[in-house]
Structure 1
Amino acid sequence: MPIISKTNDVVTVIFSFAVEPEQQQELIDRMIDALETTTRHQPGFVCASFHKSLDGVRVFNYAQWRTQADYETFAQSAQDRAIATQLSQFQLRDSHIYEVVISKPDDADLRIRKGDRIHFAEFRVKPENQQRLIDLERENVEIALQHPDLMSANFHRSLDGTRTANYGQWRSLDNFDALLKEPKYESVREYWKGLAENEFHLYEVVYTEPSE
């Protein structure tokens, strides 16, 4: 199963789609079919996990490859072009290659399992501001982890310098709004302003390869 870790000798590829709620399951089904018939057989493929937003408007894939070269070879192949054709009716919002730079707490279980509920926050940033944003994420992550239901926060930086992303694993999302409203978390809601544009959604993991 996928494991998020700074010590994994892999690169992470995250791509996300915007969908109409009535199209969300169709996109997931097509992505699963493409993965099972093509992607998982490619040299360098390690794992993938598909996520659907609870509001129905996003789908994203968190995938790991042995090396950036392995992924780029596949991305330039006829097989990947065929997959792109299969998914062309859906709006690809973002696609970047990342590395994990912060995983807290140190003893967290970082496996991605089907049925998990997570939040995924994407930050668009200018390359000259990316490291400053990461430093602020590192400063504020311990405050966010005071929320009793947040199990881990895992920050990634895109290799092109234009993104950071937080994959947050939760015991339950029932009290997620506390992070958005309670005064104790105010700095968590504010640290990125003036440096980046932020968008987040709440998700369920619907598929992993390999599975448990």
Structure 2
Amino acid sequence: MPFISPEDGHLTVFNMFETETPQGQDRVLDAMRDIIDGATYPGWISSTLHGAVDRPGTANYIQWRSLADLEARYAGQGFKKKTVPLFDELATSVRLLKTEAVFAQRHPSLGGVTEISPDRDDHTVIFMLDVAAGDQAELVDTLAKPDEWLLEVPGYRSHTYLRGLDGTVVVNYAQWDSKAAYDAFHTLPEDQRPADTRRGRERARALATARSANTYRVVHTRSAQGEAARRPEMAD
């Protein structure tokens, strides 16, 4: 199964798709599964497919050996003439983010490993912060640091910060044990958070030019070294 670790040095690509309806989401998921199950690209490490919970859409978390390997895939005629037109047809918006993991924290109960798999029951949140290129480093420094308070928040499992290679985005990939736990954390009044956390959040809001988020369940994964794993149905 795929693991998230800044020490791995993988290139991580987020393929983010939005659709107008849950039925549209299902069509994207079906098409993505077929692509993942047939993946044999040089340098491809793993793909982990997520189905959205709060708003129709999908996210594919893809690990590559290097940027050169990814660019070779993008330059291929199959990608240009088949894959791109397919998803332009199926999705109302498509965003492809090339990133690298810069920080990861996890609850001690996870045993020092952040795993993403349909065999787990994580309530996953993917939060994207757009930022001016000159401000990305400060935004990363503001957010990507240990947060001992989070370890005490009920339901918290892990979070990982990834920086966009083009300098204009920071992604937070977070795992919680339930939607209820995450919603309670997300809506917690600011005055009930530690002072240093409040300062960091305030500075991040000032630096970000746009913010977007959705919640997901992992529904399918496959790696170059192993077999595919599936979850037949998503459960709320």
Select which of 110, 113, 124 maps to 2:114. Answer: 110
Residue number among 184, 193, 198 corresponding to 2:192 in the alignment = 184
The alignment's C-alpha RMSD in Å is: 1.9
Question: Which letter maps to 2:50?
Answer: H
Contact 2:103–2:145 under 8 Å retained in 1: no
1:193 to 205, 213, 227: 205
**1:1-212 pair list within 5 angstroms:** 1-20=1-20, 21-37=22-38, 40-81=39-80, 82-89=82-89, 90-105=91-106, 108-114=112-118, 115-139=121-145, 141-182=147-188, 183-185=191-193, 187=198, 189-196=201-208, 197-210=210-223, 211=228
Partners of 2:53 and 2:217 within 8 A in 1: yes
One-letter amino acid of the counterpart of residue 202, structure 2: E
Unaligned runs of 5+ in 2: 230-236
Structure 1: gaps (5+ residues) = none
- Which aligned segments of 4 or more residues in structure 1 are displaced greater than 4 angstroms? none
Structure 2 length normalisation: TM-score?
0.82
Give the structure-1-normalised TM-score. Answer: 0.90
Report the Cα distance in structure 2 between the residues aligned to 1:126 and 1:86, rounded to whole angstroms: 31
**Aligned residue-pair number:** 210
Q: Note the alpha carbon deviations across 1:114-146, whole angstroms, 9 max, x for none.
A: 143211100100111111111111357444343
Question: How many Å separate the matches in 2 of 1:180 and 1:132?
Answer: 23
Give the drift of 1:176: 1.4
Instruction: Give the Cα–Cα distance (whole angstroms) in 2 for the partners of residues 181 and 174 of structure 1.
Output: 11
Q: Deviation digits for residues 140-179 of structure 1, max 9, x if unmatched?
A: 7444343121111100001110000011011222221222
Alpha-carbon spacing, 1:11–1:123, altered in 2? closer, same or farther (3 Å): same
CA distance in 1, matches of 2:132, 2:201: 19
- 1:53 deviation in Å? 1.3
2:233 maps to none
